[in-house]
Each structure stands twice: as C-alpha cells, then as structure tokens.
Amino acid sequence: MFNKILIANRGEIACRVILTARKMGIKTVAVYSDADKDARHVELADEAVNIGPAPSRDSYLQAEKIIAACKQTGAEAVHPGYGFLSENAGFAKRVEEEGIIFIGPKHYSIAAMGDKIESKKLAGAAGVNCIPGVNDAIETAEKAVEIARGIGYPVMIKASAGGGGKGLRVAFNDKEAFEGFTSCRNEARNSFGDDRVFIEKFVEEPRHIEIQLMGDSHGNVIYLNERECSIQRRHQKVIEEAPSPFISDETRKAMGEQAVQLAKAVNYQSAGTVEFVVGKDQSFYFLEMNTRLQVEHPVTECITGLDLVELMIRVAAGEKLPLTQDQVKREGWAIECRINAEDPFRGFLPSTGRLVRFQPPRETMFASDVEHLYGVRVDTGVQDGGEIPMFYDSMIAKLIVHGTDRNDAIAKMREALNSFVIRGVSSNIPFQAALLAHPKFVAGDFNTGFIAENYAQGFRAEDVPHDDADFLVALAAYVNRRIRARAAGISGQLPGHGVTVGEEYVVIGLGDSGLNTPRPAVVRDYQTLSGSSAVETGDRRYEICSGWHLGGARIRGTVNGQPFAAQVERGVGKNPLAIRIIHNGTRLDAMVLSPRAAELHALMPFKAPPDMSRFVLSPMPGLLAEVSVQVGQKVQAGERVAVIEAMKMENVLFAMADGVVGKVLAAKGESLSVDQPIVEFV
C-alpha cells in the first residue's frame, strides 16, 4: 500500500479523497492555485504545493507542475478526482512513465473509452447499441448544419472531450446547430484544451441511467448497480438517485452485464461509469463511458455499503477486488442533491463571493465511513467564511441522504434542505426543494426533459407552492414576538417610553413573496423560558415551541407537536424591519407590525425603482470576454451584445429591444459585478 498520495484536484472531491486516505493511514498532498490558498482541501491535507495562478489552464491543468509536485513531496501515486486531468490519457501516461501510480484506469483504457468518438466506434464493434450520428470530428459550423439536416433534428452537438454539461448543445434547427457548434468548440477548447466536436441524434423523452463499474488488474470487473440521473438542467445533473425508480431487475442485469463486457474489452481497471440512454420501453443505448470517479458516487456507496475511493486506491496498489458480483448489495434508497452557487430566480446565473454563513444540516453519515448509513451526509470543499471563486465550477456541496425506501429518502432530503444555511452567495436550494415536492418527481414519472418541460419559463417564487402557507405567516409573527420580547427586556429604557409588547400583529408581505394582502396574526401564551407560543392566523392555530436565539439563521422546534426546521433572516435588503422565513423552498419576506403601525404603513408613498431598460446589465459576476457592439451601432432585438465567462461557462447577452448604442461602459477583460452596466442605448 502507498505511504503518500497526491490529489491532483480541488474542492469537494479533493477533500473526499483525503478523508479515505486518512482512514487508510496514507499521507496526502494537496495542490492549489493562488485562488485556493485558503481552501478546505489545503487545510485537510498533510502537505500542500502551489501550482500556479487562479485560471485552471495555468494550474490544475498543468500536468508537468503536478508531476513535479509528486517528485518534490515523494508522493507514490496520484488521484485525479473528476474534471481537470482525470480523463486525460496523456496525463495518465506521463504519470506512469515517471514511475508514479495513477489511481484510475490505464492510459490506453482512457484513450479508448474517454474519447467519445473512439468509444462509440469501439462500442459499435463490440455489438453495443449506439445512437445514430456522425462519430468523426466536424471541422466547420456549415458542415455541422449539413450533417444535422442529414440525421434529422433534434441533434446533440458534443465536444469529444466534454463532460459535466460543458461543450454540449441540443439543436432543433439550422440556426441553433450553427451557433451551438461554435459555442461547443469554444467551451471545449477553454475547458479541456481539445476542440473536436461531433453530432448525434437526440433521443426525445429519454432517461439517463448509468452503471457504476469497478475493475482490478487481475481481470475482474463487477457492476455496482445503477444510478438514475435524469433530473438535469441543460445537461447538468441536479438530482441523482440509486437505484432507479424506472428500470426492472431484468433491465438492470442486462445493462450491467453489457457495461462489464465493454469494460473487459479495454482491460478496464479502477472505477468507471457506463452511461446509457434508456427509452420508455426500457430499450437502452450506449452513450459514453466516464473513465473516472463520478460526482454522484456517494449514492452508490450508500446502497452498496462500499467506499469507492478506497476500492480505487486498493486496485491501483495491485490488490484484487474484495467481492464478487453476487456479493454486491442493494439496500435502501439514496438521493443526492447538488448544491450549486447559482441564483435560481435569475435564470440560474452563477453567484460568486464569500460564504458569510455556511451551516450544513446535522450529519449522521460521513464520506469514507460506510458503517453509519441511513442518514444525512454532506460532501463539501468549502467552509464558513470561504470564497466561491469565479474560475471553477459552481458546486458548493453535495447533500446525500439514505432512506429505507424512496419516499423515506425524499422526506429526509426535504428536511435536510430546510436546515442547510448558505448566506453571502445565492444557492439552488429553493429549486431543489421545489423538485422534491413535485408530484411527478415523487411518483418517479420523469425523463431528462423534466425540468425544461415543467420550468419552461424559468424558475419563479410562485413555482414553490407551500402546502401550508399560513404556517409561514405564523412563524414570522412568532419570530417577531421573540424579537419584541428581547427589546422589551433591555435595561435603561426611559420610564413611560419603553418597548411594550402586545399580542396582535399584522403580517405584510414584501416584494413577490406571494402574500398579497396584510394578514392579522395573534400571538398568545408567550413563554420566555420555553420559547412556546400559540399563534392564530386565518382560521388556524399553531402551537410553536423552539429554543431559537435571535442571531440564529436556523430555527428548529415543534409545531402542533410535529418537528420542523426553517430558516430566519432579519433586516432583509435595505429594510431593517423585514423578516425572511424560508421553509420547504418557499420564501416569505414580510414586516410584522402592530395594527396601528400597519395603518400608518398603508399611507406611505411608494417609490418606484429607476428605469434601467436602456442598459444591458451584467446578470452575474464574471469576466467580460467580448463586447460585440460599438458606439453608434444600430442593434436589433435578439442581436448579440456581449459575452461573459463565469464558472467555466460562456454566457451570451442579447439585446432585448431595437436601439442605437450610446455608450460602451465596460471593456473586454474587465471583472464585472451583478447588475453592472455594460452597454447603454439611446
């Protein structure tokens, strides 16, 4: 067994590998860019080596710097994680040539299966069902349009070296094929250093189901059941689960055996995943093979009770697999939600900055620990006060739950999301909560088009209907009563002018909170020590008891005897009186006033926000990669105005109306903040 390994990655996966190595008694070396000098993976590792500037092409994609770090620290092996150089056959070969063990498949297996074009040809030769398409690299956008017409729309345009939704577009017409090809090439070149692109038929209403494999150097390959990954937004997975609620035992066995057959054809060693597109009649087609550990591997670890990172390390050290196919377990139901730094209410645009608060739910399962299952686990590479930089992907954490069955897992996940506090950057937690409550998701009735079909207009606050909206009003009144009690107890108040606390309140919704009319609420039987109250609103009565303290972002307690968890913020936006309540993905922003104060508030004049329709604003923090217009230029609605790069994605801004460019307010290469003006029209 190795004494020391280097993890050629960052963030959550680097921390994940370090935890297993620590369990096995192996010392670890972290590598980091200038942007990651204070990152969690650097703190967790035994040693750390700086490998260059913030952009990944200057640091985490620099193979020679990583090999030099191995030699400098005496690391005998390299774990590449996922992304970056994990599926780069050239890197794996260089590592092997330097006498360092690559904790992953052999370079020839990566070359054969990691390249989507070559893997399609190999799979076809092995008799595996493949989707119709052109598997050779396409040179020009015009040729891409011609090929797309030949196959028949819709088509999928994919970068050969792509992954994680990068370098992938679906085109339904010539215009989309032309533009999609160009964007795919650019993204592939920037993210992977390989701009080859190919086209295949897009199977409509498909399911995305993948088989987890593990092979050793003694010719053994087993499959560790499947993962259902159909809940995707723009081809990036949002929720993954194991097992799939869709396929039968016969289909599972057939897919697993076919995946094993494919792996054996390339002498596959280590963890790998064969992805399939599955039709509604349970017919399945080979899509691609990922020659690395997957982001969603924890759900497989939960249902099998195996530590996949440990198996990878043991296999790389030459050990045999410790189990056979008939010993692979499938127990309970696991779900993973990817918690990303993006704003679901602003078109899921990236959100970067400092994590002012990062308080995950209470964990009862842990990465690298397969003894404690049937609980909640959080895999993350960040911590309270940490930074979400714009140079890398948007993942903050992975939230994993393991239940006795699917309904139990969904209930555990909803409860865990309620307790997950993230402040300073926006996160997709409200969107995850909405998905988990959607009747079709609960029924297991979905395909890869689920999000596009159900949220075609984007995601809005009203897309998260609360099953008991009165509870949010009651909780806001309860929180305000606690705040008033604290204010009334402060010493030194002027006699006759101290804070008085009544029982009657009016809850007034702010913004698009869904509370359109003021709601009366009465808070009775307030107990200072126990924190209990009875709140009456509408025709409902809520007996709330909680030990919440005024500075806490998370409030736990019981309501009518049932446990609950929610989140509280005071002084939202520029309103010091505002209280924000978040529960089951629904957000209520409100002021809680006395009846007289509510009367006076109704008389206050409304100040309209300034008209910004003449400006093209940056919808997110990022780097201004291109300004496509000049002063004096006539621009039509839908015309390209600027391109912003953030978190490895290219975001194109279009003009919303016809106009003439009056001023260009930002220059190419400039770092932009949210809502910063780029172009002004006259």
> Do 390 and 270 share a domain, yes or no?
yes
> Do 354 and 485 share a domain, yes or no?
no
267 has a pLDDT exceeding 70: yes
233 has a pLDDT exceeding 80: yes
pLDDT score for 628? 92
Mean pLDDT of the chain: 91
Using a pLDDT cut of 70, give the percent of the chain over it: 99
**Which residues sit opposite 557 in a β-bridge?**
546, 564
Give the confidence band of 612 by pLDDT, cuts at 50, 70, 90.
confident
Angstrom distance (rounded) from CA 165 to CA 11: 19
**The last residue of a domain, from among 601, 631, 662:** 601
pLDDT tens, 332-348?
999 999 999 998 988 88
Residues in the chain, overall count: 682
Nearest one of 280, 271, 251 to 312, comparing CA atoms: 271
pLDDT tens, 615-656?
999 988 888 999 999 999 999 888 889 999 877 677 888 888
Angstrom distance (rounded) from CA 71 to CA 464: 53
Burial class of residue 615 in the structure, from the number of CB atoms within 10 Å of its CB (0-12 exposed, 13-18 middle, 19+ buried): middle
Point out the residues that are catalytic.
288
pLDDT score for 48? 97
pLDDT score for 523? 93
- Calculate the CA dihedral of residues 116, 121, 124, 130 and round it to 10 degrees: 40
366 has a pLDDT exceeding 80: yes
Q: Which helix (H) or strand (E) holds 7?
A: strand 4-7
The position carrying tokens 């190919």 is: 198
Angstrom distance (rounded) from CA 373 to CA 305: 8
> Do 408 and 442 share a domain, yes or no?
yes
- Going through 492-585 in order, the beta strands assigned E by DSSP cover 504-509, 519-527, 532-537, 540-546, 554-559, 562-570, 578-583
Verify cis geometry, omega within 30 degrees of 0, for the bond prior to 350.
no
Q: Which helix (H) or strand (E) holds 481?
A: helix 469-488
**The last residue of a domain, from among 150, 175, 201:** 201
pLDDT tens, 554-602?
999 999 999 999 999 998 877 888 999 999 989 899 999 999 999 999 9
Provide the domain limits for residue 478: 469-490+499-601
The position carrying tokens 């150097």 is: 217
Nearest one of 177, 204, 202, 173 to 449, comparing CA atoms: 204
In a domain, 462, yes or no: no
Give the other-Cβ count within 10 Å of 321's Cβ. Answer: 18
In a domain, 458, yes or no: no
In a domain, 606, yes or no: no
CATH number of the CATH domain containing 83: 3.40.50.20
Burial class of residue 636 in the structure, from the number of CB atoms within 10 Å of its CB (0-12 exposed, 13-18 middle, 19+ buried): exposed
In a domain, 380, yes or no: yes
Range ranked top by mean pLDDT from 131-135, 338-342, 482-486: 338-342
DSSP secondary structure of 571-627: S-TT-TTEEEEEETTEEEEEEEE-HHHHHHHTTSPP-PPP--TTEEEPSSSEEEEEE
> Do 334 and 435 share a domain, yes or no?
yes
Predicted TM-score of the model (pTM): 0.83
Number of domains making up the chain: 5
Reading the block at residue 500, the tokens are: 């008085």
CATH number of the CATH domain containing 557: 3.30.700.30
In a domain, 122, yes or no: no
CATH number of the CATH domain containing 321: 3.30.470.20
> Do 158 and 215 share a domain, yes or no?
no
Burial class of residue 630 in the structure, from the number of CB atoms within 10 Å of its CB (0-12 exposed, 13-18 middle, 19+ buried): exposed
Secondary structure of the chain: what % helix, strand, coil (to 5)? Answer: 30, 30, 40
Reading the block at residue 279, the tokens are: 């039709």
Range ranked top by mean pLDDT from 119-123, 191-195, 630-634, 646-650: 630-634
> Do 225 and 183 share a domain, yes or no?
no
Whether the CB-CB separation of 30 and 99 falls below 8 Å is answered with no
> Do 384 and 405 share a domain, yes or no?
yes
In a domain, 216, yes or no: yes
**The last residue of a domain, from among 201, 217, 240:** 201
Give the other-Cβ count within 10 Å of 146's Cβ. Answer: 13
> Do 518 and 580 share a domain, yes or no?
yes
CATH number of the CATH domain containing 170: 3.30.1490.20
378 has a pLDDT exceeding 70: yes
> Do 380 and 411 share a domain, yes or no?
yes
pLDDT score for 649? 73
pLDDT tens, 54-73?
999 999 999 999 999 999 99
- Going through 115-154 in order, the beta strands assigned E by DSSP cover 133-134
> Do 323 and 415 share a domain, yes or no?
yes
In a domain, 126, yes or no: no
Angle formed by the axes of helices 141-151 and 174-192, nearest 10°: 120
Give the other-Cβ count within 10 Å of 275's Cβ. Answer: 18
CATH number of the CATH domain containing 660: 2.40.50.100
> Do 292 and 419 share a domain, yes or no?
yes
The position carrying tokens 């599972």 is: 252
In a domain, 21, yes or no: yes
Please tell me which residue, 119 or 420, carries the higher pLDDT value: 420
> Do 211 and 333 share a domain, yes or no?
yes
Angstrom distance (rounded) from CA 294 to CA 298: 9
Give the confidence band of 163 by pLDDT, cuts at 50, 70, 90.
low
